Chain A
Amino acid sequence: MFVETPFVRKKHRREILAKCVFGAMALAMVIPLVLIIGYLVFKAAPLLSWDFLTSNPTNGMRKGGIWSALLGTIYLVVISLCISAPIGVLAAVYLNEYARENWFTRIVNLAVVNLAGVPSIVHALFGLGAFVLFAGMGRSILAASLTLAIMTMPVIIASTREALASVPVSFREACWNVGASRWQTIKAVVLPNSISGILTGVILQVSRTAGETAPIMFTGAVFYRNIAEGNLFAYGIKDQCMALSMHLYTVTTQVTNAPDALPYAIAVVLLGTVLLVNATAIVFRVYLRSRKKW
């Protein structure tokens, strides 16, 4: 019969201990997320309402809502998306479908990695130097969106590449063998089969763009601006705008005597938007994975 020796028992104890310790470490990341969201919502509750979203800040940003900031963020996100999504997707197509394995491709890959790693404040300096001053755009929504677009492009490149790589090579071979060229194959077979993965990447990029503060601080966002309430086209592309992330920073650090709940409410709206967008991407991804046939 098998008898547990002390050595074996010790081994098992260690195994359980290790599992508990590592589990606790993983749990240590879940808890802050829940605590943070719970606490913010709790503190923000008195202010959160539809009116808060659709009215301008008043009284030196101490009263009123966040309409101009919310609309500004939407402008920045949409415009930067229009710029970075096409370039990012095509760049990923190049890297996955065209680029041979050689030193040049390695450099391109390295550039993508580094573009993702450049600190956001350096992107801000770049936006200021290149778009605001050199290109003469001035501090405007356009300059800020361009800065954000370049900053978030690696997100789209990475997820699009993953999506393209998951389309089996045999699909392409079948298409080539009936006489299609490389681009025809990409257009007719590769892109339609990976569109869902690409969209997930785009959604993730939206969430990233909405939360950034540093890159827009000196390129187009302002502390305060009043716009027509309820008008979705209140900003022009050459205007400066408010943004949610910047507004949170301003209210927290520059405005004295703001009501207690105000910064919490802004934080909840910002965090809520970002997490909602991310959750959409996750649900979308899970749904598509379940539908995948190969």
Chain B
Amino acid sequence: MPVIEIEKPLAPAPTPAAIVAPKARRSQRSGAAVFGEKCIEALIRLCGISAIIFVFAIFFFVFREGAPIVSKLDLGKFLFTTTWYPTSLGVPRYGVGALIVGTFSVTVLAMAIAVPFGLGAAIFVSEFCSKKTKEALKITIELLAAIPSVVWGFIGLTVMNVVIQKVFNVQVGLNVLNAALLLALMSVPIMVSIGEDALKAVPDSYREAGIALGCTRWQLIWRVLVPAAKNGLLAAVLLGVGRAVGETMAVLMATGHSVNIPHSIFDSVRTLTATIAAELGETAEGSDHYRVLFLIGILLFTITFIVNLTADLIVKGIRKK
């Protein structure tokens, strides 16, 4: 009788840090060598925590430039009014409501396009295709992710602009739809790679159980894999959202850049990021307008911080299981 070997799931290997290395024997090494090693280890620790320092430094320095305006500005008015007249001679008005709506509309439409494509492609790469196709697709996705955002913006301005005008027969091709299409293409790669990781993390025993019950692959995906990987897929979507909210150059060039509450996807809008990029160069250092732009920076930092934090917590939740 053939012996059936059942593969036991391996316990996760301990990280190197978790293992206590035996102490090197001090007596055989010169004091200088031991001291040098101490220095290097201190340096490594310092670099290790540098990420924390940088994140705090970003918040601190952006806030430092923006803070003096906070007392002068009614925050409710700042966030919820839609009149953005920063250079008006009489009373400049700083209402970023329309900019928030602009960012929001572009992001939502971009996600509406990118989520089905991104997750669909992740499922295809993970479950359907052969190893060779998989490699080729992953390389393509990697290259797609490498295209600089200013090139995307240029494509939006020159190619998509004309295409949208022709196809939908509208006057202006620089609008929500244009920017959303670009953002969708830009955020799909990260969704595919994180989504594929999530699907790969589903244990093979789930697949085997499904196949043993006579599932087709489609049933397996829809009834077993997607529910099992749903947290990871959600994290993939959130990271895509984070990318789309923070994108600057592409939306600066492709949205049409007019402060506007959009009524259809063919209206031009302006986003938070694009406003900073377009106006910071023209403001006097230390002026109210300049400080308000830094305040918008704080707003953006907060939004992306929350989105990334949520995505990270979800991913960590999966690893624990």
Chain A interface (Cβ within 8 Å of chain B)? 11-12, 14-15, 17-19, 21-23, 25-26, 28-30, 32-33, 36, 39-40, 86-88, 90-91, 93-101, 106-126, 128-130, 133-134, 150, 153-154, 157, 165, 169, 172-173, 176-177, 179-185, 190, 207-208, 210-214, 217-218, 245-246, 248-249, 252-253, 263-264, 267, 270-271, 274-275, 278-279, 282
B15 touches A15 (CB 8 A): no
Q: A115-B51, A210-B148, A211-B150 are in contact. Are A22 and B297 (CB under 8 A)?
A: no
Binds A, one of B1-9, B92-100, B155-163, B205-213: B155-163
Residue with the greatest number of chain B CB neighbours at <10 A, chosen from A96, A109, A110, A184: A110
Q: Is B168 an interface residue (CB 8 A)?
A: no
Cα-based distance from A280 to B293 in the complex (angstroms): 39
Interface size on B, residues (CB 8 A): 98
**Interface mask (B231-267 → A, CB under 8 Å = 1, otherwise 0):** 0000000010011011111000100000000000000
Cα-based distance from A100 to B188 in the complex (angstroms): 34
B125 touches A26 (CB 8 A): yes
Residue with the greatest number of chain A CB neighbours at <10 A, chosen from B51, B116, B151, B158: B51
B154 touches A121 (CB 8 A): no
Cα-based distance from A248 to B188 in the complex (angstroms): 24
- Name the B residues within 8 Å of A207 (CB-CB): 146
B48 touches A90 (CB 8 A): yes
A110 touches B44 (CB 8 A): no
The B150-203 residues at the A interface (CB cut-off 8 A) are: 150-151, 153-155, 157-159, 185, 188-189, 192
- Name the B residues within 8 Å of A107 (CB-CB): 52
B54 touches A115 (CB 8 A): yes
CB < 8 Å neighbour of B54 from A12, A25, A93, A153: A153
CB < 8 Å neighbour of A96 from B14, B15, B37, B309: B15
- Name the A residues within 8 Å of B28 (CB-CB): 179
A125 touches B151 (CB 8 A): no
Chain B, Cβ-Cβ closest to A135: B61
Q: Is B318 an interface residue (CB 8 A)?
A: no
A29 touches B61 (CB 8 A): no
Shortest beta-carbon distance, B156 to chain A, in Å?
A: 10
Q: A87-B50, A97-B17, A117-B304 are in contact. Are A129 and B294 (CB under 8 A)?
A: yes
Q: A91-B51, A115-B55, A120-B246 are in contact. Are A29 and B141 (CB under 8 A)?
A: yes
Chain B, Cβ-Cβ closest to A90: B47
A117 touches B246 (CB 8 A): yes
- Name the B residues within 8 Å of A108 (CB-CB): 48-49, 51-52
Q: Is the interface of A mostly helix, strand, loop or mixed?
A: helix
Cα-based distance from A86 to B158 in the complex (angstroms): 40
CB < 8 Å neighbour of B300 from A18, A121, A181, A270: A121
B24 touches A129 (CB 8 A): no
Binds A, one of B68-76, B77-85, B215-223: B215-223
* Given contact pairs A23-B129, A111-B52, A115-B54, a sample of 14 additional A-B residue pairs in the complex whose CB atoms are under 8 Å apart: A26-B121, A26-B125, A30-B140, A94-B45, A108-B48, A117-B242, A119-B247, A124-B276, A124-B277, A150-B54, A165-B15, A183-B40, A214-B273, A271-B151
B277 touches A214 (CB 8 A): yes
By Cβ-Cβ distance, the 7 closest A-B pairs, closest first, are A211-B148, A94-B48, A119-B246, A25-B120, A90-B47, A22-B124, A129-B61
Q: A18-B217, A90-B44, A179-B25 are in contact. Are A121 and B143 (CB under 8 A)?
A: no
CB < 8 Å neighbour of A126 from B61, B219, B245, B277: B61
Shortest beta-carbon distance, A68 to chain B, in Å?
A: 17
Chain A, Cβ-Cβ closest to B65: A129
Q: Is the interface of B mostly helix, strand, loop or mixed?
A: helix
Cα-based distance from A185 to B57 in the complex (angstroms): 33
A182 touches B248 (CB 8 A): no
Cα-based distance from A248 to B154 in the complex (angstroms): 8
Q: Is B43 an interface residue (CB 8 A)?
A: yes
Shortest beta-carbon distance, B319 to chain A, in Å?
A: 11
B124 touches A263 (CB 8 A): no
Q: Is B13 an interface residue (CB 8 A)?
A: yes
B301 touches A122 (CB 8 A): yes
Cα-based distance from A17 to B128 in the complex (angstroms): 12
A28 touches B117 (CB 8 A): yes
B47 touches A91 (CB 8 A): yes
CB < 8 Å neighbour of B218 from A15, A25, A165: A15
Q: Is B112 an interface residue (CB 8 A)?
A: no
Chain B, Cβ-Cβ closest to A173: B19
Shortest beta-carbon distance, B232 to chain A, in Å?
A: 15
Residue with the greatest number of chain A CB neighbours at <10 A, chosen from B61, B117, B247: B61
Residue with the greatest number of chain A CB neighbours at <10 A, chosen from B52, B116, B245, B294: B52
22 A–B contacts from the bound complex (CB under 8 Å): A11-B219, A19-B124, A22-B124, A23-B128, A23-B129, A25-B121, A32-B185, A87-B50, A90-B47, A96-B15, A113-B312, A116-B308, A121-B297, A124-B276, A126-B62, A157-B51, A183-B41, A211-B149, A217-B277, A248-B151, A263-B158, A267-B154
Q: Is B31 an interface residue (CB 8 A)?
A: no
